[in-house]
Amino acid sequence: MPNEFTVRTHSQEEFIDITNSVKEVVASSHIQKGVAVVYVPHTTAGVTINESADPSVVEDILEVLRRVVPFNFPYRHLEGNASAHIKTSIVGSSISVLVERGNLILGTWQGIFFCEFDGPRTRRVWVDVIGE
């Protein structure tokens, strides 16, 4: 069974940096070389890797997603969160990150972001670290 942690979101749409939480799971696995798979088991939230040094990057990503997939559109899904489902399909529900010497191998400016599109909510994130 993968490790699980929760993320509490505070807005309808937001990106939350979960890099440190994923690093903690990798460290506790004691796996030195392999891959960490991060999976979000929700249809209106996802996960991505992008720049974590400048917060304007995630603001820009959210703004473009809002323009490409507007909240107000004559969607057939009448629950009121159709745009969240579409944004999640665009962003994706999982990522894989290499693990070397017990550490995530990320680029200098990269971070792992939980992507909320239908909040605020308490969400789950699953991480499985697979060793050689």
Residues whose CB falls within 8 Å of the CB of residue 89, separated by 6 or more in sequence, listed in order:
none
Task: State pTM to two decimals.
Answer: 0.96
CA distances from 19 to 14, 24, 33, 50, 95 (A): 15, 9, 18, 11, 12
pLDDT digits (tens, 9 = 90+) for 22-51: 999 999 999 999 999 999 999 999 999 999
Q: What is the CATH number of the domain that holds 29?
A: 2.60.120.460
d(CA 120, CA 8): 7
pLDDT at 102: 97
Domain boundaries, position 73: 3-131
Total domains, the chain: 1
